[in-house]
Structure 1
């Protein structure tokens, strides 16, 4: 994408003059204001705002048509706001705006946190076996803290329908895939996903615990504070949060955790291999720590890891549709033409026991 294209897409995301006028009523007038699009995210759009010497983050849906409620940013805001006084590390909330006339969509603003998000590399200060072990432990412990929240006490008792959540997840992601296929099947088909969907329908657990769930919990959706030892300072990207089955979060986290014996990831832009280095816990070790921290046994592990892959395939196919329709500036999206079929093949191998959990 050229600079001109990037500028044009930013203009589709925000009217800077209108935003400046709106925020001035809450934050106070500023002499210097800048807005920069963050290009590391791949779903809701993230914009960095410099307001004189203060820094904020604005979250809004991507431009163009979206599938159902997949980009409900005010739901994301509600979760973060409800968790402000809990042990769950979240950014400070600032405001939420339902008036789509301001920038063309609903949005919210939160404080910008200092620290590092780990994707394909790690900060030099973390490059020791002990610190790498601590990163995995911090990641699991923060997930356990989400699942231990008294959601009634923080005002989220009506935030979802936890009963039957897992079965509905299978149905929902099948529907998301169908929405994406309306456009993407003209480019290529992914028949393996039909088999995965059928297997999930046949193997969905009959019952599960009811907790707050994040919905997109993985290493690159958390921030580690400056300094050592590693301390997890904030959890981001709550757009899929709801009340449901905590083991869906655990399965999702494991999808994005790379063991040294794993094959090359089908979506390398999303699935880092940084944790294959010495000191990082294995998936089995992460599961064991989660079970100790929560007292919950990870039953039906194969199902939850297959479900996670199916959801990622659904997201990837939605990304690909938005690319084909010209509704995203994200360079990742066209790569889903090959990435989704590769993930589908690996998921079938997981079902058949040809890949390690």
Structure 2
């Protein structure tokens, strides 16, 4: 945990923030004032940036004996339709009432004068996120398998939430979800890129021409993967929280399954920028096909034959939003970002994998 601002990402005061050409991500005196107003901890502030997200930014905070997590959008300018922290907090509050494992939302700030963008503060959960190293407590062969099964169980449970009643029914418009996804991301490409990649338009056309009919509506997380799951610190493997709800809405449940399986690392699969949990290449974890089969056991009424279309959609969309990250880095809007430069080759790799799921058409 840190306590000394670096003067770039974190500054001590609002006056220091105003003097910077590029706004900081954390302003210590402003955060302390906000926490005091909501009775969250006392005394000075320690902080640590956590998570592997390349879009929104998450900090672990410590005040006295209490710990919290602050989540905010990236530096402005940002689109009004993205990085909606107020909506993201609302979704988690609603899903927590439905028994879905999510952190408790403690306070929401809509006042952009505090940090330059809206943000929220949630409870800190002491657990494990599985990424590029296997936690010792989940390293036995049966625990590796149990880790994969727990992820599938959690996805199926999310898709079982009744989206026809109450406030949850107003989280999105499931009718036409797939068409809106294809049309929206097709329109974003020209604004996100500075280079010519005709493959984006070709895959977009294929997706539009081969779009399956949605079988039912569910909550769609939008970024469901092992790296967005918090596991209990000790065995048996169980999910204690689903994290990062920025893209959640109501839509087609196979969109989540397509993303989960298309970005899932298994032995022999090509590495892409979306492989954020590489440990599942190791023996003991379920393969992609086994994940699909286990999901189908839990959701037997869904036909999974069109799943390759959803997998192609997932990687095509990922290529487009990764191109935005790359372009913002080229413009100097993401200083110190080590991930963005890799997307020069990473975006074409995502498009290649999307085309493979589309059957090379």
Report the CA distance between 1:6 and its aligned residue. Answer: 5.9
2:299 aligns to what?
294
Q: Provide the alpha-carbon RMSD of the alignment.
A: 2.0
Residues 28-37 or 287-296, more deviating: 28-37
Report the CA distance between 1:123 and its aligned residue. Answer: 0.4
2:93 aligns to what?
81
The aligned length equals 344
- Label 1:76 to 1:219 Cα distance change in 2 as closer, same or farther (>3 A): same
Report the CA distance between 1:321 and its aligned residue. Answer: 1.7
Report the CA distance between 1:121 and its aligned residue. Answer: 1.2
Instruction: Verify the 8 A CA contact 1:87 1:145 in the aligned structure 2.
Output: no
What is the distance in 2 between the residues matched to 1:45 and 1:175?
26
For the residue of structure 1 that corresponds to 2:255, the secondary structure is helix
- Label 1:353 to 1:282 Cα distance change in 2 as closer, same or farther (>3 A): farther
Residue 36 of structure 1 pairs with residue 41 of structure 2: no
Instruction: Verify the 8 A CA contact 2:36 2:42 in the aligned structure 1.
Output: yes
Picking from 100, 105, 112, the partner of 1:93 is: 105
What is the distance in 1 between the residues matched to 2:236 and 2:258?
27
What is the distance in 2 between the residues matched to 1:319 and 1:5?
25
The 5 A counterparts of 1:254-333 are 254-263=261-270, 265-267=271-273, 270-295=275-300, 296-329=302-335, 330-333=337-340
Picking from 247, 253, 258, the partner of 2:260 is: 253
Instruction: Verify the 8 A CA contact 2:227 2:276 in the aligned structure 1.
Output: no
Which string of whole-angstrom CA distances, capped at 9 and with x for unpartnered residues, describes residues 129-172 of structure 1? Answer: 21111111100110111111123445221111100101111111
For the residue of structure 1 that corresponds to 2:169, the secondary structure is coil
Which consecutive unaligned segments of at least 5 residues does structure 2 have? 12-23
1:178 aligns to what?
190
Moved over 6 A (4+): none
For the residue of structure 2 that corresponds to 1:37, the secondary structure is strand
Which consecutive unaligned segments of at least 5 residues does structure 1 have? none
Residues 241-250 or 340-349, more deviating: 340-349
What is the distance in 2 between the residues matched to 1:336 and 1:7?
27
The 5 A counterparts of 1:22-33 are 22-27=34-39, 30-33=42-45
Instruction: Verify the 8 A CA contact 2:273 2:350 in the aligned structure 1.
Output: yes
Report the CA distance between 1:103 and its aligned residue. Answer: 1.4
- Label 1:97 to 1:280 Cα distance change in 2 as closer, same or farther (>3 A): same
Which string of whole-angstrom CA distances, capped at 9 and with x for unpartnered residues, describes residues 211-238 of structure 1? Answer: 1111110010001111111111111000
Higher relative contact order (CA 8 A, sep 6+): 1
The 5 A counterparts of 1:1-357 are 7-11=7-11, 12-27=24-39, 30-38=42-50, 40-153=52-165, 155-181=167-193, 184-185=194-195, 189-263=196-270, 265-267=271-273, 270-295=275-300, 296-329=302-335, 330-352=337-359
- Label 1:167 to 1:128 Cα distance change in 2 as closer, same or farther (>3 A): same
- Label 1:28 to 1:137 Cα distance change in 2 as closer, same or farther (>3 A): closer
What is the distance in 2 between the residues matched to 1:266 and 1:156?
34
- Label 1:28 to 1:37 Cα distance change in 2 as closer, same or farther (>3 A): closer
What is the distance in 1 between the residues matched to 2:6 and 2:148?
36
What is the TM-score of this pair, normalised by structure 1?
Answer: 0.91
